[in-house]
Amino acid sequence: MLFDEVIMGRRSIRGYKPDPVPKDVIREIITLATRAPSSMNTQPWHLHVVTGEPLDRIRKGNTERNQAGVPASREIRMHGPYEGIHRKRQIEIAAQLFETMGIEWQDKVRRQDWVMRGFRQFDAPVSIVVAFDKSLTGNDIAIFDCGAVVNCLVNAAWSKGLGAVINGQGIMQSPVVREHALIPDDQVIMSCVAMGYPADDFSANDVVSRRRPVDEVVNFVGFE
Ligand SMILES: Cc1cc2nc3c(=O)[nH]c(=O)nc-3n(C[C@H](O)[C@H](O)[C@H](O)COP(=O)(O)O)c2cc1C
């Protein structure tokens, strides 16, 4: 695939075929993804690729803790609820997804079910937990670097015919993830990425999220 086709074609995938993903394919994707640039080439990331029984244990633990009302325990700082224009964009993508899935805003049961899918890693056959070296805690650049590798990861997956979604929800109960993904104590969990072959009949997979126009985003300086 051409670079433009990958970038313009990629979408977040939230419904998967149960088919396992061969280890070699994941290796190829990670080989591409880890070409991501990082500050002074420090490459602070660690990618924990989880499948099968350990992933099922994470799904179960996440679900149980959320249903029991255990507060989220992320290992990186959070911003609290989005407000203003950011909240507006958050609602816009949620509305696109709910509309295509036939979920009404008032339908609390189906909305909660959708949230729980995220805690189950969207039932994907693979979850890649992204962590960074704890010695870099407090250095925002390490998080920037991990963002770069995650972006490469989802695009590399797409280029190989797989789908993925970056899934902040999946690591909100970080002790569960840490235990079953065997994450060492000297690493900080940043996020995770659900990955697998996209289900053909899952309408949310076709949603194309909107982007701000270039002229709104950019400030050209010194051009003719
Ligand atoms: C840091 C981060 C966390 C995210 N967490 C979630 C999540 O928990 N659940 C979800 O459905 N999508 C999640 N996403 C996916 C975004 O909703 C998605 O990338 C955005 O709406 C743009 O859509 P696209 O990826 O299809 O272009 C996350 C994306 C990022 C970058």
pLDDT digits (tens, 9 = 90+) for 72-92: 999 999 888 999 999 999 999
Q: Which residues contact 87 (CB under 8 A, 6 or more apart)?
A: 81
Q: In angstroms, rounded to a whole number, what is the distance separating the alpha carbons of residues 95 and 12? A: 15
Q: Supply the residue whose CA is at minimum distance from atom 31 of ligand 1.
A: 166
Q: In angstroms, rounded to a whole number, what is the distance separating the alpha carbons of residues 53 and 56? A: 5
Cα 152 to averaged position of ligand 1 atoms, centre (Å): 14
Q: Which ligand 1 atom is the nearest neighbour of the CA of 150? A: 31
Q: Considering the entire predicted model, what is its pTM?
A: 0.97
167 close to ligand 1 (CB < 6 Angstrom): yes
Q: In angstroms, rounded to a whole number, what is the distance separating the alpha carbons of residues 65 and 56? A: 14
Q: In angstroms, rounded to a whole number, what is the distance separating the alpha carbons of residues 174 and 176? A: 5
Q: Which pLDDT does position 174 carry in this prediction?
A: 97
CA atoms in the 13 A half-sphere facing the CB of 135: 3
146 close to ligand 1 (CB < 6 Angstrom): no
Q: Which pLDDT does position 1 carry in this prediction?
A: 76
Q: In angstroms, rounded to a whole number, what is the distance separating the alpha carbons of residues 192 and 170? A: 6
Region at 13 (left for phi over 0; alpha for psi -120 to 50; beta for the rest): beta
118 close to ligand 1 (CB < 6 Angstrom): yes
Q: Which pLDDT does position 168 carry in this prediction?
A: 96
Q: Which pLDDT does position 96 carry in this prediction?
A: 98
Residue 223, both tokens: 């051009």
Cα 208 to averaged position of ligand 1 atoms, centre (Å): 12
Q: Which pLDDT does position 79 carry in this prediction?
A: 83
Cα 164 to averaged position of ligand 1 atoms, centre (Å): 10
Q: In angstroms, rounded to a whole number, what is the distance separating the alpha carbons of residues 171 and 121? A: 9
Q: Could you tell me how far CA 183 lies from the centroid of its own chain? A: 18
166 close to ligand 1 (CB < 6 Angstrom): yes
Query: Strand, coil or helix: what is 129?
Result: strand
Low-confidence ranges of the chain (pLDDT < 70): none
Comparing CA positions, the residue from 141, 133, 143, 165 lying closest to residue 77 is: 143
- Phi, psi angles (nearest 5°) of residue 127: -130, 130
Cα 191 to averaged position of ligand 1 atoms, centre (Å): 11
Q: Which pLDDT does position 210 carry in this prediction?
A: 98
121 close to ligand 1 (CB < 6 Angstrom): no
Q: Which pLDDT does position 203 carry in this prediction?
A: 97
